[in-house]
Chains A and B, each alone.
Chain A
């Protein structure tokens, strides 16, 4: 199966700081999503981005499919951004989704 690696595993930020989270994947994919898991376990969709760049408020994401990585940018971080960020991909021609191990973000006031 496809390997999905996220970095860094843990990140501590001061409120207002910017950060970049990375997701590397080992094979070509036809679906890539970023999720935020809140402390109660709920997974919230952030981006569906198998290629290209998207922005939503303080968050933006870029996927370079040919180089097999995606980046999630968080600007002007807030304490509510705390939680775990997951990247998930689906292989071309296969029907399984693979999640990375996540980046645990802690934004301090």
Chain B
């Protein structure tokens, strides 16, 4: 069974540009989570999507946004890029939170975003 996939692996942008990151969850998973991991730091929760809706977001400015498509894949958009947005962006998927089963998160390999 395929795991969580993310694209691109690396992304280089300049300040002020927009970045789009993509995530495909494990088959059967409807929840997708996005995290930011700045160099040498822990993971900061960005966004949670479930069944096509945004369920919650972390303490990030509105220029961080995203969406979930009918096939449960997801896109993270970062507008007006700043130097401090340089980080590893990780996507995770799980079974539906309300399913009553263990909603273990499984992570993709990440997208490393560099803002110059």
Please list the residues of chain A having a beta carbon within 8 angstroms of any beta carbon in chain B: 31, 33, 35, 40-45, 48, 86, 88, 94-102
Q: How far is the CB of B25 from chain A (nearest CB, A)?
A: 15
Flag whether B72 is at the interface (Cβ < 8 A).
no
Total interface residues on B, using CB and 8 Å?
25
Contact A88 B105 (CB under 8 A): yes
Given A48-B102, A86-B43, A41 and B110 contact (CB-CB distance below 8 Å)? yes
Contact B56 A88 (CB under 8 A): no
Q: How far is the CA of A95 from the CA of B107 in the complex (A)?
A: 17
Contact of B104 among A40, A45, A95 (CB under 8 A): A45
Q: Number of contacts between A and B (CB, 8 Å)?
A: 51
- Identify the closest chain A residue to B37 (Cβ): A41
Please list the residues of chain B having a beta carbon within 8 angstroms of any beta carbon in chain A: 33, 35, 37, 41-45, 48, 55-56, 58, 88, 90, 92, 97, 102-107, 109-110, 112
Given A96-B48, A96-B58, A45 and B42 contact (CB-CB distance below 8 Å)? no
Given A41-B90, A96-B58, A102-B42: 17 more A-B contacts, CB < 8 Å: A31-B103, A33-B104, A33-B105, A41-B112, A43-B92, A43-B107, A44-B107, A48-B102, A86-B43, A95-B56, A95-B97, A97-B33, A97-B48, A99-B35, A99-B43, A99-B44, A101-B42
Contact B88 A48 (CB under 8 A): no
At the interface, is chain B mostly helix, strand, loop or mixed?
A: strand
Contact A97 B55 (CB under 8 A): no
Contact A86 B42 (CB under 8 A): yes
Contact B55 A95 (CB under 8 A): yes
Residues of B within 8 A of A86 (CB): 42-43
Name the 6 nearest CB pairs between A and B, nearest first. Answer: A43-B107, A95-B56, A99-B43, A48-B104, A101-B42, A99-B42
- Identify the closest chain B residue to A44 (Cβ): B107
Contact A41 B58 (CB under 8 A): no
